[in-house]
Chains A and B, each alone.
Chain A
Amino acid sequence: MTISQTLTSRAGAAAAVNVGRAARSSKLSAVVMLAVVAVLAALPFLVFAKITDNLVNLFVLIALASMWNLLAGFGGLVSVGQQAYIGIGAYSVVAFADQGVQPYLAVPLAAVTCAVFAVPTSWLAFRLRGDYFAVGTWVIAEVYRLLVVRIDSLGGGSGKGLTGLAGIDQAVRGALTYWVALALAFASIAGCYLLLRGRLGLSLMAVRDEETAASSVGIDVRRAKRVVYLVSAAGCGAAGGVITVSSLSVNPDAIFSVQWSAYMIFIVVIGGIGYIEGPLLGAVVFFALQQLLSDYGSWYLVLLGAVGMAVALWLPRGLWGLVRDRTGLSLFPVGYFVRPRGDGAGAR
């Protein structure tokens, strides 16, 4: 029996309520979003390659931010070291391509590789808690970078080019990369949504609210956190793969840079941590900011940091939190809505 059925089958006052998973706006928003995705998918036929190449960056940011939000907003694990998996994913694609695998097919393989690396890493990282976990993951990312530059077959300290895409026409390659990036962003958000609507999502929200109590009602806290960590690692790995496919090369200092974590963290903080819509909104805002301030050098990073700090202090639930509070809008509902049976009022 689902929770909804359990609640409504009880006699008495509880039978007077309707418990549902969908928000009032869900059906409409689902249709709108599918339409948006369809339009985006058709873009390579409609606009110049420069626009779709730019959008690849946006999709990568959406994917990365969703993964960080899954880890920190839902899992409660604030990591400043996800760039480790971006790097491992990127290098996996290069390594697979060297073995003859078609690079676009290597992207999901890179995700799996990262999940494999994340298993022993999680064992180490989970020895730390809270803020120390954050810096610990950063150190682990540094260790991965230092280990990778020692491997000469992967290009050592100067990086390597991606083989296997040479024979494809440039326009076609641009379009294929765009579609892979769109699929990545779509899969990240859809993956988060499906994961969090299920049992795991409920466990995570319980753990996020009060870990000891959650563990006392039988939730396997360790396992929940580990699953989230592995999924996040896989997602970041796939994103790293797409970055490599897009730029056709990999450089260890760039791909393992903590800058990626800075982007992820600030996109999610500004967009709204703990909401699936947050990273989406934050990535769009960040992307717009990046395009507007591209002539001013590093000042956009200063602005990003300052805005991030201000939002962390005064708007802890981010922009989406603001929208949610004012309008009750929920594009990806992961909670439960309790409505009194009979009348339409009282949605959560």
Chain B
Amino acid sequence: MDWLNAVIQGLLLGGLYALFATGLSLMFGVMRIVNLAHGDLAVVASFLALALVSGTGLPLWFVILVTVPLFALLGYLTQRVLLQKSLSSGPLATLLVTFGLSIVLQNVLLQIFSADTRTLDGGSFATGSFALTDQISIGYLALTTFGLAVVVLVGIQLFLSHTGLGRMLRASSDDRETANLVGADSRHVYGIATAIAFATVALAGLMFAMRSSFDPAIGPSRLIFAFEAVVIGGLGSLWGTLLGGIVLGVTQSIGSQIDPALTLLAGHLVFLAVLAFRPQGLIAGRTA
């Protein structure tokens, strides 16, 4: 029964990883940018929420409702001001700019908040659970996170396939120049994509912060999980991202059942195995 429990917990954890991975997948699919600051943005969101909660005393759910759209706006601005310039500066520039951003964010957080680990207090919602059977209980937070991941992915899928702006986004990712010819303003489109990416990673960061503790240095490991989820699932496929997140979550969960020190290594080894034997990922979407 322990194994079944591990699989179920891994499945739910996969939802969190999928939420982290969505933004990375979207930014790469549309702009061919791997945002190396992706994980650090989640940490910034967590610290921002923490500061707002302790500074203003507002309830956490309200702070979350404020932080996520705020990050969407920040994403749009970051794209227009910073990333757009790097897109025209050559292939290396975006990697270097996002890596620089990652270093800057990590160290600014370190200087302002110190290296202590913090946590977001989600109250009884974060710690409560209901019992499925005698040995398996499902946490409210974990289930909500998984649900949010599915909702977000469905939402983005609908946005991409049923709205004009979504169509422009898909067109821009296929062929930027031609999309510009038919009226898509690629800068605006990229800004929207980055806004969605920032908002989803902020949400993922907040869910994670309620689930466990965070500190300024954990950004890169979040990036690595998101990256692994994207590669395992398959580049260019949003549902692949969910599948990749689930595979990663289940692998880590089973790994921790065998030996708690194996948790991270198990996930990395599965990633390397997918890389070695099926580099296009489990669900091969459009080619990268």
Taking each of A135, A140, A302, A308, which has the highest tally of chain B beta carbons within 10 Å of its own beta carbon?
Answer: A135
Give the docked Cα–Cα distance between A142 and B223 (Å): 12
User: Interface digits, B216-242 against A, CB 8 Å rule (1 contact, 0 not)?
Assistant: 000010011001100100010000000
User: Interface digits, B267-284 against A, CB 8 Å rule (1 contact, 0 not)?
Assistant: 011011001100100000
Question: Are the C-beta atoms of A313 and B93 separated by less than 8 Å?
Answer: yes
B47 to chain A, nearest CB (A): 15
Question: Are the C-beta atoms of A309 and B100 separated by less than 8 Å?
Answer: yes
Tell me which of B11-19, B101-109, B168-176, B183-191 binds A.
B101-109
With a CB–CB cut-off of 8 A, which chain A residues contact B223? 135
Q: Is A138 on the interface with B (CB-CB < 8 A)?
A: yes
Tell me which of A35-43, A58-66, A143-151, A234-242 binds B.
A143-151
Q: Is A19 on the interface with B (CB-CB < 8 A)?
A: no
A254 to chain B, nearest CB (A): 13
Q: Is A273 on the interface with B (CB-CB < 8 A)?
A: yes
Q: Is B264 on the interface with A (CB-CB < 8 A)?
A: yes
With a CB–CB cut-off of 8 A, which chain B residues contact A258? 220
Give the docked Cα–Cα distance between A133 and B258 (Å): 30
Interface residues of B in 70-103 (CB under 8 A from A): 82, 85-86, 89-97, 99-103
Q: In the complex where A135-B227, A139-B268, A258-B220 touch, is A269 in contact with B96 (Cβ < 8 A)?
A: yes
Question: Are the C-beta atoms of B288 and A124 separated by less than 8 Å?
Answer: no
Give the docked Cα–Cα distance between A299 and B110 (Å): 9
Chain A, residue nearest B278 (CB): A127
Give the docked Cα–Cα distance between A304 and B33 (Å): 22
Question: Are the C-beta atoms of B95 and A131 separated by less than 8 Å?
Answer: yes
Partner of A142, one of B95, B235, B268: B268
B278 to chain A, nearest CB (A): 10
Question: Are the C-beta atoms of A132 and B108 separated by less than 8 Å?
Answer: no
Q: Is A306 on the interface with B (CB-CB < 8 A)?
A: yes
Question: Are the C-beta atoms of B107 and A143 separated by less than 8 Å?
Answer: no
Q: Is B243 on the interface with A (CB-CB < 8 A)?
A: no
Q: Is A218 on the interface with B (CB-CB < 8 A)?
A: no
Question: Are the C-beta atoms of B97 and A313 separated by less than 8 Å?
Answer: yes
With a CB–CB cut-off of 8 A, which chain B residues contact A129? 288
Chain A, residue nearest B235 (CB): A132
With a CB–CB cut-off of 8 A, which chain A residues contact B149? none
Question: Are the C-beta atoms of A266 and B95 separated by less than 8 Å?
Answer: no
Q: Is A305 on the interface with B (CB-CB < 8 A)?
A: yes
With a CB–CB cut-off of 8 A, which chain A residues contact B107? 298-299, 301-302, 305
Question: Are the C-beta atoms of B93 and A134 separated by less than 8 Å?
Answer: no
Question: Are the C-beta atoms of A305 and B101 separated by less than 8 Å?
Answer: yes
Q: In the complex where A124-B275, A134-B95, A298-B110 touch, is A308 in contact with B34 (Cβ < 8 A)?
A: no
Interface residues of B in 18-74 (CB under 8 A from A): 28, 32-34, 36
Q: Is A78 on the interface with B (CB-CB < 8 A)?
A: yes
Partner of A265, one of B28, B89, B99, B231: B99
Say whether chain B's binding surface is mostly helix, strand, loop, or mixed.
Answer: helix
Say whether chain A's binding surface is mostly helix, strand, loop, or mixed.
Answer: helix
With a CB–CB cut-off of 8 A, which chain A residues contact B181? none
Give the docked Cα–Cα distance between A279 and B93 (Å): 17
Question: Are the C-beta atoms of B104 and A143 separated by less than 8 Å?
Answer: no
User: Interface digits, A276-311 against B, CB 8 Å rule (1 contact, 0 not)?
Assistant: 000000000000000000000111011011101100
Partner of A313, one of B32, B34, B89: B89
Give the docked Cα–Cα distance between A313 and B95 (Å): 11
Q: Is B261 on the interface with A (CB-CB < 8 A)?
A: yes
Question: Are the C-beta atoms of B86 and A301 separated by less than 8 Å?
Answer: no
Partner of A143, one of B91, B268, B288: B268
Chain A, residue nearest B268 (CB): A143
With a CB–CB cut-off of 8 A, which chain A residues contact B93? 312-313, 316
Question: Are the C-beta atoms of B103 and A132 separated by less than 8 Å?
Answer: no
Chain A, residue nearest B83 (CB): A313
Give the docked Cα–Cα distance between A132 and B226 (Å): 12
Question: Are the C-beta atoms of B85 and A127 separated by less than 8 Å?
Answer: no
Partner of A308, one of B90, B96, B235, B264: B96
Q: Is A128 on the interface with B (CB-CB < 8 A)?
A: yes
10 more A-B residue pairs beyond the given contacts A298-B111, A308-B103, with a C-beta to C-beta distance below 8 A = A127-B275, A131-B94, A135-B36, A135-B224, A258-B220, A301-B107, A302-B108, A305-B100, A306-B104, A313-B89
Would you list 10 pairs from A and B whose C-beta atoms are within 8 A, ordered by A residue? A134-B34, A135-B34, A139-B224, A139-B268, A139-B272, A140-B272, A143-B265, A299-B111, A309-B97, A312-B96
Question: What are the nearest 3 A-B pairs in CB distance?
Answer: A305-B103, A309-B100, A131-B34
